């Protein structure tokens, strides 16, 4: 990780065709797996840690920026703002949550252009009625299949005109929907997924209701791939489930064998972050300055120990001195991180 921090790729290179790169990864890798993020720093850490793509999680964005559940509160403009900053921080493909299109099919068509302009490789759009909600919250409903197919056809039309490599993932929420009879939900999900592929989707995904619903996971994959064997599937390894308590362990490799080629832990970064931040804040509330001392002891030697390095100050210093030769003087005379002549003090980061 130390070699990656300060690497010019993060600042001076961009993915010229992120959609094409995502497609290349799908063909060259057994499968792609990643975590959901909602900030540029989380995305950057994901890339540095070795993940080959990142996912902008809608629920993470809603909780992270509003402190609110995923109930379609964030607007298209806010999502695109987030996406633009995240794509600027990494050089791996970014997949973004485009909700249920943010309104009518006209809004969905606009979303394709806006997310493409923001530099994302792919978006996923779901077939819930507007306003949508997290697929694991009670009360969700799906739009009619005719309306959903029309939306995906419109999305595909814009994509083909803007950038044929831009990747479209169609999600169906038929499983668990309040307006679909329970006994036919899996079959309805299969029926819808196949229709969305016919409407132009590059990949399909169904939300499930349990972490170990092996029957539904298998039936959906087989049902779709029987007719469309070359179309990859997406799998939400959802943070809404306690996977460690599943009666049947669900492994990434097994999912990939079924055809799930893009697997993502939707709120992975958010849960890791909230766990760490809460523990520190609670410790601070009770132990005051000793909480910071303990945190610094734990992080000593860790790749994220120095916020200066995490923010690539050395890279920016080198740029400054290269283009402004006079800037070298202030580093020779100054004190603090980056000083040229100041002796190293182990008490200072």
* Contact residues for 125 (Cβ-Cβ < 8 A; gap 6+): 98, 99, 100, 101, 108, 111, 151, 152, 155, 168, 169, 170, 171
Specify the pLDDT at position 83. Answer: 98
Specify the pLDDT at position 292. Answer: 97
Q: What is the distance between the alpha carbons of residues 7 and 294, in angstroms, rounded to a whole number?
A: 30
Helices 40-49, 268-287: axis angle to 10 degrees equals: 110
Catalytic residue numbers, as ranges: 134
Extract the residue ranges of the chain whose pLDDT is less than 70.
Answer: 1-9
Segment 187-224, tens digit of pLDDT: 999 999 999 999 999 999 999 999 999 999 999 999 99
Give the domains, in start order, of the chain with CATH numbers.
9-272 (3.20.20.60)
Q: What is the distance between the alpha carbons of residues 100 and 208, in angstroms, rounded to a whole number?
A: 17
Question: Quick check: 337 and 348 in contact, CB under 8 A?
Answer: yes
Q: Which pTM value belongs to this model? A: 0.95
């Amino acid at each position: 990780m130390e070699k990656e921090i300060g690497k010019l790729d993060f600042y001076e290179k961009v993915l010229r065709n992120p959609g094409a790169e995502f497609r290349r990864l799908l063909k060259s890798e057994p499968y792609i797996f990643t975590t959901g993020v909602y900030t540029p720093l989380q995305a950057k850490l994901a890339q540095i840690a070795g993940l080959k793509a990142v996912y902008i999680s809608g629920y993470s964005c809603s909780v992270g920026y509003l402190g609110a559940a995923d109930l379609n509160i964030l607007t298209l403009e806010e999502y695109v703002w987030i996406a633009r900053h995240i794509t600027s921080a990494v050089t791996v493909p970014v997949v973004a949550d485009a909700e249920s299109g943010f309104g009518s099919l006209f809004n969905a068509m606009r979303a394709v252009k806006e997310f493409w302009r923001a530099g994302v490789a792919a978006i996923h759009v779901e077939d819930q009625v507007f306003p949508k909600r997290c697929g694991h919250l009670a009360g969700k409903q799906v739009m009619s299949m005719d309306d959903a197919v029309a939306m995906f056809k419109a999305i595909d039309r814009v994509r083909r005109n803007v950038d044929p490599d831009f990747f479209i993932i169609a999600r169906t929420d038929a499983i668990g929907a309040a307006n679909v009879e329970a006994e036919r939900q899996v079959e309805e999900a299969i029926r819808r997924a196949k229709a969305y592929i016919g409407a132009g989707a590059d990949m399909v995904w169904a939300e499930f209701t349990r972490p170990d619903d092996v029957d539904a996971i298998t039936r959906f994959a087989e049902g779709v791939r029987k007719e469309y064997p070359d179309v990859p599937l997406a799998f939400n390894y959802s943070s809404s489930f306690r996977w460690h308590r599943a009666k049947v362990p669900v492994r990434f490799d097994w999912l990939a064998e079924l055809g799930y080629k893009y697997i993502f832990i939707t709120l992975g970064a958010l849960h890791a972050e909230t766990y760490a931040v809460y523990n520190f804040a609670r410790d601070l509330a009770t132990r005051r300055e000793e909480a910071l001392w303990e945190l610094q002891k734990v992080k000593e030697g860790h790749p994220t120990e120095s916020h200066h390095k995490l923010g690539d100050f050395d890279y920016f210093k080198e740029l400054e001195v290269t283009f402004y030769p006079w800037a070298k003087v202030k580093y020779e005379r100054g004190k603090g991180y980056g000083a040229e002549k100041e002796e190293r003090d182990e008490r200072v980061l």
